[in-house]
Chain A
Amino acid sequence: MKITREDVLRVAELAHLELSPEEVETYRGQLDEILTYIAKLEQLDVTSVEPMAQVLQPAAESHPELREDTPRPCAVADAILAQAPDARKPFFRVPKVIER
């Protein structure tokens, strides 16, 4: 693999991470090493293999996956807002997102 600084910056932007220049260089090198190791998966022929989309085993799937759509009270709004860095009931406050 050849991971460039631009690759790391592109990924950091996707993930909303503001990396320092040193971090970009560190992760570039480490990502390169890890992806080189991961490339060993290319040795396997997986053309006729289904991806594993479900971990729960058949024994566990004897029930319908959908539950009844019954509303239940969930009166935790105050407790949850109390954890917020900036809230004014009933809202979370954030920097302005709409320009006008």
Chain B
Amino acid sequence: MMAERSWTIAGVQDALRSKQVSARELATDFYSRIEKRNPELNAFLALSPERAFAQADRIDAAIAQGENLPLLAGVPIAIKDVISTKGVRTTCGSKILENYVPPYDATAVERLEAAGAVILGKTNCDEFAMGSSNENSAYGPVRNPVALDRVPGGSSGGSAAVVAAGLALASLGTDTGGSIRQPGACCGIPALMPTYGRVSRYGLIAFASSLDRIGPFATTVADAAAVMSVIAGRDENDSTSAPVPVPDYPSEIETRLDGLRIGVPEDYFGEGLDEEVREKVQSGIALLERLGCRRIPLHMPHTDYAIATYYIIATAEASSNLARYDGVRYGLRVPGGTLMEMYRRTREKGFGAEVKRRIVLGTYALSAGYYDAYYLRAQKVRSLIARDFADAFQKVDAIITPTAPTPAFRLGEKTADPLQMYLADIYTVTGSLAGVPGISVPCGKTREGLPVGLQIFGRHFEEGRVLQLAHAFEQAGGLTL
């Protein structure tokens, strides 16, 4: 039918309105791309063609009636498998939820569909979103479409890979310590972690509740802005969603950058940063200066403590959140003679190695006699890290850093050493702990052709600013630096 065309959301809208293509044809085209490419990528865990075609037909009927089309009409979107989809299997990349079919939709999914989006299916991820390479999925790793021997990043590796490979126009991921931004950098696409509280988490299966956020991947920053404008905003079903008005992101991003102050913290350019990534990000900062930004050096003294802080808080919260998987109400049950035996066997068989490791660490950090030394101390250092950001935002409008210390690494390269894997999130966990928004935007490629990501942090609820900078950067050629 159609040649593999690179769509944008605006392009889809024009093509639908001018009847060059129908929503059904578009969905059919994307499913045939998936059929061709998914076997090698392993990026989709479940497809939802019935739901997708029913939605596409509704859009086509609306077009035939001459109705106004909603913002995402006909746009094929994929959803990370930790986000609930009514009637569509949702496993969290875990054996413990292998046959789980949610009885309701997450608010973010509901809002996407209400805006006309066509939900193609569910994407592979690290089990319960715990990982930085997608190798912790119980259903096998995802491969990076840019280089098949490399990881796509994690934990939202599937959501990044499907967009980078053209198998979906946008996707939802979740970010707890870098799980949207780092795979965005590894796969070379824009990836936004919104402010804590900006997007409803109703229907998101919890990992670490003081950190978890839902956000978009897209092929362009403008498309990410369009998706954000649909999913953002207060939801009565999530008391942690903020009643802060949602601006019109697609128009906010068109503002010029003149006079914006961008902070560059030296702490993000130290030991462990790959030389080529450093060069690319420095060129990226120079590009932003040419676009009218003023560069201001920063020192954020607690950056180096972020990984340690994060791995106490995130694992402590995970150990508590994952207590619910006990074989009683949903998911796997392994029979046992007693209730306790059933709990233990179910959890032993259902959880993978990384999830168990984090439950052990988190339970340890919360256990009697260790709480003050670990959890309480980490919560205090978290205040110091948040203060670093608050102080910085007195002087600057945005903070620019590398997204990850290296480009996508090889499959298997870090699986034997959990601590090395954790350090892949060294530049992203800071913003997670502080609650601020951050985006990873493509910033050229290494000599081997691997994408590099530039990260932009903004003040709380200033996603518009972050998207504006990323959009201008992309338009000025950031992708091919």
Residues of A bordering B, CB below 8 Å: 7-8, 10-12, 14-20, 23, 27, 30-31, 33-35, 37-38, 40-42, 44, 46, 49-53, 55-57, 59-60, 62-63, 65, 67, 76, 79-80, 82-86, 92, 94-97
Contacts and interface: CB of A to CB of B under 8 A. Distances in A.
A19 B329 contact: no
Task: Report the interface size class on chain B.
Answer: 35 or more
Contacts of B244: 59-60
B103 interface: yes
B71 interface: no
A14 B100 CA distance: 26
B194 to A, nearest CB: 12
Interface in B367-392: 367, 374, 376-384, 386
A52 B382 contact: yes
Given A30-B357, A57-B197, A76-B104, 11 more contacts: A15-B347, A17-B348, A19-B348, A33-B419, A37-B308, A49-B380, A50-B383, A55-B210, A56-B242, A57-B461, A67-B239
A33 to B, nearest CB: 6
Interface centre among B333, B348, B433 (most CB of A within 10 A): B348
B347 A30 contact: no
A14 B363 contact: yes
A80 B308 contact: no
A59 B381 contact: no
B243 A63 contact: yes
**What does DSSP make chain B's interface, helix, strand, loop or mixed?**
helix
A16 B344 contact: yes
**What does DSSP make chain A's interface, helix, strand, loop or mixed?**
loop
A92 B324 CA distance: 14
Contacts of B319: 15
B435 interface: yes
A23 B356 contact: yes
Interface centre among B195, B307, B360 (most CB of A within 10 A): B360
Contacts of A79: 103
B196 A15 contact: no
Interface in B384-428: 384, 386, 418-419, 422
B101 A31 contact: no
B435 A17 contact: no
B445 interface: no
B66 interface: no
A46 B323 CA distance: 31
Interface in B330-355: 330-333, 335-345, 347-348, 351, 353
Contacts of A52: 379-380, 382-383, 386, 433
Contacts of B344: 16-18
